[in-house]
Amino acid sequence: MILYTIPLSRTLKRLFMMLADTIMLIGALLFSCLLLGQDFFNQQQGFYLALAISTVLSIAVFTRIGLYRMLVLYMGLHSAVALIQGVTLSAALLAAAFFVLLEEQSANFAVLPIFWMMALLFIGGSRFLGKVMLQSLIQNFRPKEPVIIYGAGSSGMQLVVALQNGDQYLPVAFVDDSQNMLGSTVHGIRVYSPNSLFELIETYSVRQILLAIPSATHAERKEILNRLEHLPVHVKTVPDLFDMVSGKAGVDQVRDIDIEDLLGRDIVPPNPELLGACIQGQSVMVTGAGGSIGSELCRQIITINPARVILLDSFEYGLYEVESELRDKLGSIEGGDKIEVIALLGSVCNQAQMENAIKIFAVDTVYHVAAYKQVPMVEKNIVEGAQNNIFGTLVAAKAAAKYKVKNFVLISTDKAVRPTNYMGATKRLAEQVLQAMAQQKSETKFSMVRFGNVLGSSGSVVPLFRKQISSGGPVTVTHPEVTRYFMTVQEAAQLVIQAGSMATGGDVFVLDMHEPIRIVDLAKKMVHLMGYDIKDENSYRGDIAIEYTGLRPGEKLYEELLIGESVTGTEHPKIMRAEEETLSWKELEPLLNKLEAACKRIDLPAIRNLLMEAVDGFEPKEDVADPLWEIYYNGSGQEESVAKAPAAKSKVTKLFKE
């Protein structure tokens, strides 16, 4: 312990440890002789020579097996095995020295087993006693936070060892559902029933529970979280088994609960045939590759061994990030050195670029993800929303048809069903573009996949809630009754790939999103599981308040996935095929021409009327709120430049100040 605190070099500390072991080996033989009633100090010369030789050789053996490279503070099972091995070899060396140097009648070999035990007690016991005392000192000077570990399996055992050797958490109890584990002790820590949680929290003043159940399904984890939700603790979890095995994370790298655990849904294993049908050995393009959904699609695509992946995006940094990530990932994929990754900076509205990219790289499959998807933003930028979401899709689809791309899959949204906002209306019209083109004679199979909110995507409510809770609140929810469908980005990307493989032309695939979730319930769960109480009219002493801000422009209380009632199953249990009425190309083309002209004129009333005509059920709830329209036209429909319109100029100034 003194050596641990003195700032000496590692070499000097090892020399001191060798000296201490030398003294303890001699002391072990001394005590062994005393226990047998022998006089240690009146032995023949060969006895002392045997002790000297065996001690020197023992120190050499201890050095060879790495006993002096082990840090006392972090000694564990491996160190104990090495100690036993070293002491056993030391006893064997002493026996050999006695046999060679002492006469048979004067050699008392009965001392050897006692010497082995005494040496093990002195050398091993002193080290482990030092470890306990050092840990106690560290804990007193750097107090650890008491935690309860939920799960006494292999991950829990690894976690407790890691935490005991760390300086942040002090495990005080295990909790486990297994009846066989109850009452037992694991690494000095008792295992309790989940029914004892409240009492344990009170007794040890615990503020955190760590879930060590990485192999549990999401449904099992949700059941456990429901039990823990109303306890006054912050619930965290260890990384999943894949991350631990792959080395991405250590067992002690605890983190907040994943939203997937709150949903309690387990992903259906993908069908390998459906996954590979449109990708394996083919040239695949992903538009909007720098976004959250597009980048996840790219990650999954390269694991299915395409010949080439073309990444297209106008978001420069996002494109750079996903290209770098994919290139790094290729090294860990079998046959990854043969996969081309090509990053193209550009817009899907650029017809020449789209046609050249598809032609030059002989694209077989297009996943069209590029779109503006933030409802409030598109409400204020209607022209650009229409240009990108509708005409970007039209340009990409026409280029695909022209150069005989085999499959074209549009990523759509539940907001396209009976839309109340311009984002949803533009996405529904983009769907109709593909449905109309599918009716034309084309070698390209056009299809679209419609799903709800994606967890972890840009703008997702979950990271916003987590940030608000960590900052002390309030947590902002638009309306107490608002509900949304949720799906993880990994599951969404997997299902998109599989759905595209089942396309026959003009298909609308709808992903099974399970039951919608009330956003306020999600917010409350996150508040509770992060160890806080809700502050409301019933609990003025709560920690985090929930504030209702009102529905945003164009936002619905409830989202839908189907326009009609006609829906059929597919080869995949999570993917359905919807049968919906649509416009023919002959009906749609003149509407698109008028819409394009209205976009060029920035004629928002005309755009609104054309979208209402083309999109069945489109009922915009808000007046036009596009700043460009309000200022450039001064809300009158007559062109009026800022320089000639003081009122408009004052609006510009006010907007910039805001």
- What is the arithmetic mean of pLDDT over 545-566? 74
pLDDT value at residue 637: 47
pLDDT value at residue 578: 85
Instruction: Quote the CA–CA distance of 636 and 655 in Å, as a whole number.
Output: 19
Do residues 367 and 297 make contact, with C-beta atoms less than 8 angstroms apart? yes
Query: Which has the minimum average pLDDT: 252-256, 286-290, 419-423, 629-633?
Result: 629-633
Instruction: Quote the CA–CA distance of 627 and 648 in Å, as a whole number.
Output: 10
Give the three-state DSSP class for 287. Answer: strand
pLDDT confidence bin for 138, thresholds 50/70/90: low
pLDDT confidence bin for 564, thresholds 50/70/90: low
pLDDT value at residue 308: 96
Q: How many CB atoms lie within 10 A of CB 341?
A: 20
pLDDT value at residue 656: 38
Query: Which has the minimum average pLDDT: 296-310, 401-415, 571-585, 593-607?
Result: 571-585
Q: Of 228 and 108, which is predicted with more confidence? A: 228
Task: Please check the confidence at residue 144 and state whether its pLDDT lies above 80.
Answer: no
Instruction: Quote the CA–CA distance of 58 and 95 in Å, as a whole number.
Output: 12
Same domain? For 571 and 619 the reply is no
The first and second tokens of residue 63, run together, are: 């050095």
Task: Please check the confidence at residue 126 and state whether its pLDDT lies above 90.
Answer: no
pLDDT confidence bin for 301, thresholds 50/70/90: very high
Query: pLDDT above 90 covers what percent of the chain?
Result: 28
Q: Pick the most confident of 83-87, 382-386, 623-627.
A: 382-386
pLDDT confidence bin for 457, thresholds 50/70/90: low
- What is the arithmetic mean of pLDDT over 195-220? 85
Same domain? For 360 and 498 the reply is yes
Domain count of the fold of the chain: 4
pLDDT confidence bin for 384, thresholds 50/70/90: very high
pLDDT confidence bin for 304, thresholds 50/70/90: very high
pLDDT value at residue 630: 62
pLDDT confidence bin for 64, thresholds 50/70/90: confident
Tell which of 235, 263, 291 closes a domain.
263
Same domain? For 132 and 159 the reply is no
Q: Which residues pair with 122 in a beta bridge?
A: none
Radius of gyration from C-alpha coordinates of the chain: 35
Query: pLDDT above 70 covers what percent of the chain?
Result: 83
- What is the arithmetic mean of pLDDT over 408-429? 92
Distance linking the first and last C-alpha atoms of the chain: 63
Place of tokens 């240009």: 387
- What is the arithmetic mean of pLDDT over 228-237? 84
> Does 415 participate in catalysis according to the annotation?
yes
Q: How much is the pTM?
A: 0.68
Task: Please check the confidence at residue 91 and state whether its pLDDT lies above 80.
Answer: yes
- What is the arithmetic mean of pLDDT over 561-572? 71
Considering the domain boundaries, does residue 166 fall inside one? yes
Instruction: Quote the CA–CA distance of 142 and 458 in Å, as a whole number.
Output: 39
Query: Which has the minimum average pLDDT: 40-54, 58-72, 602-616?
Result: 58-72
- What is the arithmetic mean of pLDDT over 112-136? 83
pLDDT value at residue 228: 85
Q: How many CB atoms lie within 10 A of CB 199?
A: 11
pLDDT value at residue 624: 60
Query: Which has the minimum average pLDDT: 239-243, 357-361, 428-432?
Result: 239-243
Give the three-state DSSP class for 256. Answer: strand
Give backbone dihedrals phi and psi of 220, rounded to 5 degrees, phi first: -65, -40
**Could you tell me the CATH number of the domain that includes residue 232?**
3.40.50.720
- What is the arithmetic mean of pLDDT over 514-542? 79
Tell which of 96, 124, 140 closes a domain.
140
Instruction: Quote the CA–CA distance of 283 and 357 in Å, as a whole number.
Output: 11
pLDDT confidence bin for 246, thresholds 50/70/90: very low
Same domain? For 23 and 126 the reply is yes
Determine if residue 281 is left, alpha or beta; phi over 0 gives left, psi from -120 to 50 gives alpha, anything else beta: left
Same domain? For 383 and 252 the reply is no
Same domain? For 315 and 381 the reply is yes
Per-residue pLDDT reduced to its tens digit, 180-192: 888 888 877 889 9
- What is the arithmetic mean of pLDDT over 548-556? 79
The first and second tokens of residue 350, run together, are: 């650029």
Task: Please check the confidence at residue 269 and state whether its pLDDT lies above 70.
Answer: yes
Helix, strand and coil in the chain, % to nearest 5: 50, 15, 35
The first and second tokens of residue 452, run together, are: 């709800």
3-state secondary structure 480-520: CCCEECEEEHHHHHHHHHHHHHCCCCCEEEEECCCCCEEHH
pLDDT value at residue 362: 96
Query: Which has the minimum average pLDDT: 16-25, 76-85, 171-180, 636-645?
Result: 636-645
| Cis peptide bond prior to 270, omega within 30° of 0 | no
Considering the domain boundaries, does residue 482 fall inside one? no
Same domain? For 276 and 328 the reply is yes
DSSP string spanning 369-402? ------HHHHHH-HHHHHIIIIIHHHHHHHHHHH
Same domain? For 150 and 256 the reply is yes
Could you give the strand order of the β-sheet that contains 255-256, starting from the edge strand earlier in sequence? Answer: 185-186, 189-192, 169-175, 145-150, 208-211, 234-237, 255-256
Comparing CA positions, the residue from 54, 39, 151 lying closest to residue 94 is 54
pLDDT confidence bin for 179, thresholds 50/70/90: confident
- What is the arithmetic mean of pLDDT over 76-93? 84
pLDDT confidence bin for 140, thresholds 50/70/90: low
The answer to whether the Cα torsion of 126, 129, 134, 137 is positive or negative is: negative
Could you give the strand order of the β-sheet that contains 475-477, starting from the edge strand earlier in sequence? Answer: 475-477, 544-548, 534-535
List the catalytic residue out of 373, 380, 415, 445.
415
Domain that holds residue 168: 144-263
**Neighbouring residues of 589: CB distance < 8 A, sequence distance ≥ 6:** 436
Considering the domain boundaries, does residue 280 fall inside one? yes
pLDDT confidence bin for 360, thresholds 50/70/90: very high
Same domain? For 428 and 568 the reply is yes
Same domain? For 349 and 438 the reply is yes
Considering the domain boundaries, does residue 258 fall inside one? yes
Determine if residue 602 is left, alpha or beta; phi over 0 gives left, psi from -120 to 50 gives alpha, anything else beta: left
Considering the domain boundaries, does residue 553 fall inside one? no
Same domain? For 55 and 164 the reply is no
pLDDT confidence bin for 628, thresholds 50/70/90: low
- What is the arithmetic mean of pLDDT over 596-608? 90
Question: For strand 445-451 and strand 453-455, is the pairing parallel, antiparallel, or unpaired?
Answer: unpaired
pLDDT value at residue 242: 47
pLDDT confidence bin for 561, thresholds 50/70/90: low
Q: How many CB atoms lie within 10 A of CB 459?
A: 14
Tell which of 582, 613, 637 closes a domain.
582
pLDDT confidence bin for 240, thresholds 50/70/90: low
Do residues 216 and 224 make contact, with C-beta atoms less than 8 angstroms apart? yes
Q: Of 580 and 654, which is predicted with more confidence? A: 580
Q: Which helix (H) or strand (E) holds 588?
A: helix 585-601
Q: What is the mean pLDDT of the chain?
A: 82
Considering the domain boundaries, does residue 397 fall inside one? yes
Considering the domain boundaries, does residue 549 fall inside one? no
Query: Which has the minimum average pLDDT: 9-18, 84-93, 304-313?
Result: 9-18
Q: Of 584 and 513, which is predicted with more confidence? A: 584
- What is the arithmetic mean of pLDDT over 435-461? 83
Task: Please check the confidence at residue 642 and state whether its pLDDT lies above 70.
Answer: no
pLDDT value at residue 322: 95
Task: Please check the confidence at residue 241 and state whether its pLDDT lies above 50.
Answer: no
Same domain? For 645 and 565 the reply is no
Helical segments of 102-240, H only: 111-119, 125-141, 154-165, 197-204, 218-228
Considering the domain boundaries, does residue 463 fall inside one? no
Q: Of 648 and 388, which is predicted with more confidence? A: 388
